[in-house]
Amino acid sequence: MGRQEYTGIPGWARALAAVAAVLVVLPLLAMVLRVDWTHFVPLVTSEPALTALGLSLRTSAASTVLCIVLGVPLALVLARDSFRLQGLLRSLVLLPLVLPPVVGGIALLYTFGRQGLLGRTLDVLGLQIAFSTTAVVLAQAFVALPFLVVSLEGALRTSGFRYEAVAATLGARPGTVFRRVTLPLVLPGLASGAILSFARSLGEFGATLTFAGSLQGVTRTLPLEIYLQRETDPDAAVALSLVLVAVAVAVVALAYRRPAARAGAGEQPTTTAAPAGGNAA
C-alpha cells in the first residue's frame, strides 16, 4: 500500500480527483451542517417518519429478495448460456440503469395499471397492483434488478465453468452443481449485488411516485416522505435525509468491504468481489 512504487498518476489527475471528491462530499456536508440537532431525535422518530422508514425497509427487503430470486437465474443464463438475441436481452435488462425512473414508473403503470397491458386481466382476478405496496416493491425491483444481474454476471464469467464440469463428471446433477459449486463460488458477487440492489431500492423515488403514488403507510417510502416534508417542514426533511444517508453509507461500506479471510484466498479468481456498474441511489 505504500508510496514506494511508481504509480504513473499525473498531477492534474490528482487535482481533478480532489474536485470530484468535493463534488460528492460537499453537498452532504452542507446538509449535515443544516441539521437541527436539538430537535433531531423527535423529528426522525415522528409517527409519519417511522412509518415511512419501516415501509422503506420492508419494501426494499422484499424487492431485494425478488431481485435475487429472478436475477440469479437471469445472470446465469446471460453469463453461461448462448442463444439468439442474448446480446439484445442483456442490453434491455440493463436499460433501467440509464432510464429516468419516472419513465420506468410510467411503463409499469401501462403494464400493471388498471388500464394497462396486464392490468385488466389482473383486475378480473381481483388483483389491483397499481398504488399498492406491491407496486412499490415492483417499482423498486424494476430499477434495482440490473445492479444484481451486472454484478453477478461478472462474477459468473470470471469463475468460468471448469469447476462445474468437474462436479458434473463426479456425478452431480445440474441442481446439485448449482447449489454446491456455482453459488458458493460467486457468493461474494451475489452478496455485493444484493446489497447494491437493496440500496437502490431504498433510494427509489421516481418510479414509486408514478406507479405507486404517495399513500401514508401504504406506498409513502422514506424518499417520498422527505420530498413531502421539504415543502412543509424543511428541518424534518433534512433530518430524515441524514437518516437515509447513514443507511446508504452503511450499505455501501458493507458491499465494498474487503472480502475477509473467510472468503478464503482460494485459487479461483472470483474472491475479489468487484461490483460492476455505477453507484446506487
User: Closer CB to another protein, residue 185 or residue 196?
Assistant: 185
**Binds another protein (CB under 8 A): choice among 91, 115, 176, 272:** 176
Using the rule CB under 8 A, give the single segment among 55-63, 101-109, 125-133, 258-266 that binds another protein. Answer: 258-266
The Cα 87–Cα 103 span in angstroms is: 23
Classify the C-alpha dihedral 84-169-270-75 as positive or negative: positive
- What cell does 61 get? 427487503
Residue 131 contacts by C-beta under 8 Å, 6 or more apart in sequence?
211, 212, 213, 215, 218, 219
Report the residue number, 27 or 184, with the smaller CB distance to another protein.
184
Among 184, 217, 234, 278, binds another protein (CB under 8 A): 184
- Of the two residues 29 and 170, which places its CB atom closer to another protein in the complex? 170
Out of 173, 231, 232, 260, point to the residue binding another protein (CB under 8 A): 173
Q: Buried b / exposed e across 173-182, counting CB within 10 Å, b at 16+?
A: eeeebbeebb
Q: How many residues of this chain bind another protein (CB under 8 A)?
A: 24
Residue 268 as a binder of another protein (CB under 8 A): the answer is: yes
Least Cβ distance, residue 179 to another protein (angstroms): 11
Determine contact, residues 260/242, Cβ cutoff 8 Å.
no
Cα–Cα distance measured from residue 30 to residue 241, given in angstroms and rounded to the nearest whole number: 12
- State which of residues 27, 54, 100, 174 lies at the interface with another protein (CB under 8 A): 174
Residue closer to another protein by CB (options 174, 278) is 174
CA dist., res. 256 & res. 258, Å (int): 6
Is position 265 an interface residue for another protein (rule: CB under 8 A)? yes
Distances (CA, A) of 250 to 17, 263, 275: 23, 21, 16
Q: Which residue in 16, 28, 118, 170 binds another protein (CB under 8 A)?
A: 170
- Find the part of the chain contacting another protein (CB under 8 A) among 16-24, 112-120, 161-169, 247-255: 161-169
Distance, in Å, from the CA atom of 79 to the CA atom of 90, rounded to the nearest integer, reads 10
The secondary structure element, H or E, covering residue 267 is none
Sites for another protein among residues 65-124 (CB under 8 A): none
- Residue selected from 43, 49, 72, 185 as contacting another protein according to rule CB under 8 A: 185
> Nearest approach, Cβ of 177 to another protein (angstroms)?
8
Taking the complex as a whole, how short is the minimal distance between the CB of residue 270 and another protein, in angstroms?
9
CA distance 90 to 115: 29
The C-alpha cell at 45 is 422518530
Q: Which of 3, 14, 162, 258 binds another protein (CB under 8 A)?
A: 162
Q: Which residues bind another protein (CB under 8 A)?
A: 162-163, 165-174, 176-177, 180-181, 184-185, 187, 264-268
